[in-house]
Amino acid sequence: MKKRHVYLAMKPPEEARRLWLRSFLENPPQGAELVPVLDSVGRILAEPAFARFSAPSAPLAAMDGIAVMAAVTVGASEASPLRLAAGEGFSYVNTGNRMPAGTDAVIMIENIQESGEGFVEIRAAAYPWQNVRKVGEDMVATEMLFPRNHRVTPVSLGALLTGGVFSVSVRRRPTVCIIPTGDELLEPDRALPEDLASGKVLETNSWVLGRLVEDAGGVFIRKPIMPDDFSRIAAAVEEAVKEGFHLVMVLAGSSAGSEDHTANVISLIGEVLVHGVTLMPGKPVVLGAVGDTPVVGVPGYPVSAVVVFEEFIRPLILAWQGSPAPARRVVMAEPSRKIPSKLGLTELLRVKLGRVGERIVATPLPRGAGSITTLTRADGILRIPAESEGVAAGTTAPVELLVSEEALENTIVAVGSHDNTLDVLADAIRAKFPAITFSSAHVGSTGGLLALKNGGCHVAGSHLLDPADGSYNFSYIKKILAGIPVHLVHLVGRDQGLIVARGNPKGIRSVTDLVRPDLRFMNRQLGSGTRVLLDYELSRAGVDPSGIYGYTVEESTHMAVAAAVSSGEADCGMGIFSAAKALDCDFVPVITEQYDLVIPAAYFETEKIAAMLSIIRDPEFQARVRELGGYHTERTGEEVFIG
């Protein structure tokens, strides 16, 4: 019988980390190696490094000019200039030249006046060691340059070479064995589209974690993908321990499924110290040991895997090398909307950040532990404590920065409806204005206007149809943003309709077909402009939404809807033509709508917004947009002020 491991005694992450580190820091990996100093950048010194040479090793001129004996120049002044002869009273020197014997000062070339061939006049006395680099000014032979446990940097390299240190003793890199497991996994370079369509998954975690090991100063070896076979996984772990790896990571299989063997494997051949922490993502982690070797069961979801590495594995690898884990800079940020969280679990929420007015605003990214793009798009990590039920709107919370504070100042925060042109806009802005970032979060048109109202963004993307008169956005702006002057900038006209599978096998012709019992529908989230449009079209056609199978199933982007149709998860969804085209779906047009950017007057004259508008009005940008398909740019860049 396959044994399921149930979490009965999950530990708080802080307690689990203390137990984990304490278990393996008493006997860290031993040994050092001598490496050429040119190869030592990034390594940790096992012994202190001492200078063999003084620098400078001789007195050197620090300026271009003449070298003199300072005592000879006493009495020189404007009223009584001193005349010196070349070779007797002075010698010409350039910066970096060794000081001639019998001299101890340099008078800068601009402070002398030539007086006949071979003679100069000076009008001020020099003092001893004026403009001279003395022996050992930078370092003195036998001086300690760096203590043990110093991480060698490129600048450190310069100091070591200057001091005549050409090899250093460094700590051996901890070695890590990574064992990916799972019957569903495929090597990334061997995958075919039909494999992925059948439910196979690319194995990428091992490469991400391996490079993170290297970033922490370790070395990794990746084993071939292992099937979900208890005996083979146990044998692979035992073999890795016998081979002398300092740490073993078993990827996936740490949860509670019938094919999740890691905890049972470690229990059989070693000891489980922790199985499950009150951390989200990363809850199923297994921390154990086989003999003196730490073994980690890493969750299979990509975000969970990275979180487990940062919380437990990186600190251990760094501690073994005598290097403390660097603390991320923390800023206080205000969420763009209320963020609920589950009581009893510490949540590490990925957020987009930007400075809006005097505040740093945090917009949550999707919480799915399988969404690796939430890490690549994140500007920071909002750590919500286990004893909290979330962060209320209007309050601030500490956020660990993944980018520089300067980047936050140069970020355009856009919140609202999703559109594929926003990605083109973000790329075009970075190409022409590298210091500016366009950061968009997709919460629907209504959510974007509410974010503007609450001061949570610079720009809101909106395409809200007013059923009463067929206009877009005006009535909603006047209602939601009453009293806030804004500029409405037209971005694109875009074709909205029903996204269907290639060839339209279900023969879908209009929204009236959506109530058919053989159709599965994928909807957009409540408050989105697409949802408003759909409900308007359903009302016009007399269709009751409750009769549509899947009406309550929501996605937050057009591409997600298209992906659901393309994969066969749904037969139909409401979305834009460019999303259908991108994923090789067919399209049943319904309407050409207006997609606008709403910008508060308070930000409209800023350099960031001016840069964005210059891109929007650039014919090259507009041509790129039209290439996506289903977009109309005749009015792109038109502006209306709404007071």
Query: Could you give the angle at the alpha carbon of 187 between the alpha carbons of 184 and 191, nearest 5°?
Result: 85
Residue-level length of the chain:
643
Cβ atoms of 214 and 309 within 8 Å: the answer is no
Amino acid identity, position 537: E
Distance of alpha carbon 630 from alpha carbon 585, whole angstroms: 13
Give me the residues paired with residue 517 across strands. none
Per-residue pLDDT tens for 27-84?
777 788 999 999 999 999 999 999 999 999 999 999 999 999 999 999 999 889 999 9
643 alpha carbon, distance to own chain's centre: 38
Among 309, 264, 271, 319, which residue's Cα sits nearest to residue 293? 271
Structure-block tokens of residue 416 = 């609202």
- Residue 631 CA to residue 433 CA, distance in Å, equals 25
Sign of CA dihedral 50, 52, 54, 56: negative
Instruction: Using alpha carbons, select from 566, 523, 568, 576 the residue that is nearest to residue 546.
Output: 523
Round to whole Å and give the CA distance between 369 and 281: 6
- What is the pTM assigned to this prediction? 0.80
Give the distance, in angstroms, between the CA of residue 264 and the centroid of all CA atoms in the same chain. 35
Which DSSP string do the residues of 320-340 spell out, in sequence order? Answer: HTT-PPPPPPEEEEEESS-EE
pLDDT beneath 50, residues of the chain = 1-7, 257-258
3-state secondary structure of 369: coil
- Other beta carbons within 10 angstroms of residue 330's beta carbon come to 13
pLDDT value at residue 547: 95
Task: Compute CA distances 581 → 97, 194, 559, 627, whole Å.
Answer: 69, 20, 10, 11
Give the per-residue pLDDT at 270. Answer: 93
| Whole-number pLDDT of residue 259 | 54
Measured distance CA(247)–CA(315) in Å, rounded: 13
pLDDT single digits (tens) 123-168: 999 999 999 999 998 899 999 999 999 999 999 999 999 999 999 9
What whole-number distance in Å separates Cα of residue 545 and Cα of residue 591? 19
Look at the block and give the residue holding tokens 């993944």.
402
User: What single-letter amino acid sits at 149?
Assistant: N
Alpha-carbon distances, residue 524 vs 190, 459, 546, 555, 573 (angstroms): 35, 21, 15, 5, 8
Residue 423, exposed/middle/buried by CB under 10 A (0-12, 13-18, 19+)?
middle
- CA–CA dist 531, 347 (Å, integer): 30
Q: How many helices (H) and strands (E) does the chain have?
A: 19, 38
pLDDT in tens, 86-118: 888 899 999 999 999 999 999 999 999 888 788
How many degrees, rounded to 5, is the angle at CA 471 between CA 469 and CA 476? 100
Q: How far is CA 339 from CA 248, 425, 492, 526, in A?
A: 36, 28, 32, 17
**Domains (ranges, CATH) in the chain?**
13-28+174-320 (3.40.980.10), 32-52+141-171 (3.90.105.10), 60-133 (2.170.190.11), 343-403 (2.40.340), 437-642 (3.40.190.10)
What does DSSP say about strands 279-280 and 346-356: parallel, antiparallel, or unpaired? parallel
b/e burial code for range 385-410 (CB count within 10 A of at least 16 → b): ebebebbeeeeebebebbeeeebbeb
**How far lies 123's CA from each of 91, 106, 113, in Å?**
17, 14, 9
Task: Give the whole-number percent of the chain exceeding pLDDT 90.
Answer: 72
- How confident is the model at residue 220, as a pLDDT? 96
Contact 621, 631 (CB under 8 A): no
> How far, in Å, are 336, 374, 426, 452, 612 from residue 447 at the CA level?
10, 20, 20, 9, 22
pLDDT at 253: 64
Burial of 536 (0-12, 13-18, 19+ CB in 10 A): middle
The answer to whether the CB of 436 falls within 8 A of the CB of 410 is yes
Residue type, 224: P
pLDDT of 369 reads 67
What pLDDT is recorded for position 624? 96
Question: Cα separation of 74 and 171, whole Å?
Answer: 57
What tokens were used for 388? 């909290």
Contact assessment for residue 253 and residue 236, using Cβ atoms and an 8 Å cutoff: no
